[in-house]
Amino acid sequence: MNILLKSVNIIDSESDFDNKTQDVLIENGIITNIKDSIKNTNAYPEIISDDLHISQGWFDSSVSFGEPGYETRETIDNGLETAAKSGFTSIAVNSNTNPVIDSNSAVSFLKSKAINSNVNLHPIGALTLQSKGEHLAEIYDMKLAGAVAFYDYKKAISNANLMKIALQYASTFNGLICSFPQNNSIAGNGTVNEHITSTTIGLKGIPNIAEEIQIERDLSLLDYTKGKLHIATISTAKSVELIRKAKLNKLDVTCSVAIHNLFFDDKVLTDFNTNYKVLPPLRTQQDIKALIEGVNDGTIDMVTSDHNPIEIELKKIEFDHAAYGSIGLESAFGALNTLFSTRKTIKLLNQGKSRFGINHSPITIGSKANMTLFTPNQSFIFAQKNILSKSKNSIFTGQQLKGKALGIINNNKITLH
């Protein structure tokens, strides 16, 4: 693939060309020249667009598709196309399929499906067999097949000894264990945040302590085992404080937050729109403020779209019975760029790579082209037409967002929106 990018604004703190407007020449997938003006002597295709920006290719640490087993929700092929057009060159894909991704062969299947894609698919293997929380899966065998972490998606490990053993065993091969922060015995049958809104609208609540007591337990286990832990999608102010304290105590812990938990509070639930039914639930403005502070000071290591396609028949039903989850790849950049500066947004969209063992790809001469193309200043209303996923369950439908991803260049291929 040969292409010339004209007058692009480069945002990449790891590049000598950061914050400069340059022409960028890519030949056979390699960046061969970057300068103020490049003559197109070989008549390569050119990309010229107003307000065109590029950065290192973005990464999302929590993406769910459906295949195998739930292809009506999303296929791997369409999911990868959606990720590419949404600006992501790398995604970590969860194990919540049927069958669950809990073996070497299942991990290999996922990787084989993406072998010709320009999106790098990094499987997350299940932590326990069939994600039932009873017996540890063959996590080392999955590591050998290419799994980057181990996680029972949205399923808390209630057995503390099982989590202890997982952390101890994974530490022998530098494996990353992920935990979902919810104590199910406290959460019970709750479906939304336990607060004024839940009482007003008559829905059962999930109290903050259900998340926080699980985090306290897992941090204690981490301190005991000296393992390596990632706590996925925290949502409360106290959770931020707990992780901040653990980091000060030099524990090897990271955490993420879902973009929608930074954007919406539980007041949006009053019309019973099931697209707002997510897990962890939308909390309060006080929690959002603490989460954003955690993002800004580095306590929260990464943000995720927590992309989770759900078929319409599991969303267009009573709120209590609707499935949890929202798609989020398509809206990720626009939502983050609405909340933070563009430079901060780009940093957040690259920040999780190191934790999941994914190489950074600075925009420098001689490097392989692994980059995202985007425009940061265009405001728009996110609508059904912006959804590329097979499932349409977007929490951001109808929201004003700022900035659009235009596509990616990676693996000697280009995908444009």
Domains and CATH numbers, the chain: 3-54+363-376+404-416 (2.30.40.10), 57-348 (3.20.20.140)
Amino acid identity of residue 123, one-letter, is P
Annotation marks residue 306 as catalytic: yes
Residue 127 corresponds to which tokens in the numbers above?
């932590």
Across all residues in the chain, what is the average pLDDT?
A: 97
Q: Give residue-wise pLDDT tens across range 381-399.
A: 999 999 999 999 999 999 9
pTM exceeding the 0.95 threshold for the entire prediction: yes
Burial of 47 (0-12, 13-18, 19+ CB in 10 A): buried
Taking phi first (over 0 means left), then psi (-120 to 50 degrees means alpha), and beta for anything else, what does residue 298 get? left
| Per-residue pLDDT tens digits for 43-52 | 999 999 999 9
Query: pLDDT by residue (tens digit) across 361-380?
Result: 999 999 999 999 999 999 99
Q: Which of 23, 266, 301, 306 is catalytic?
A: 306
* Cβ neighbours of residue 25 closer than 8 Å, sequence gap 6 or more: 4, 5, 31, 32, 33, 34, 38, 44
| Predicted pLDDT of residue 191 | 97
pLDDT in tens, 136-166: 999 999 999 999 999 999 999 999 999 999 9
Confidence at 5, pLDDT banded by 50, 70, 90: very high
**Amino acid identity, residue 205?**
G
Q: What is the pLDDT of residue 349?
A: 98
pLDDT higher at 417 or 337: 337
**Alpha carbon distance 74, 65 (integer Å):** 5
Q: 188 near 204, Cβ under 8 Å? A: yes
CA 354 from centre of chain: 14
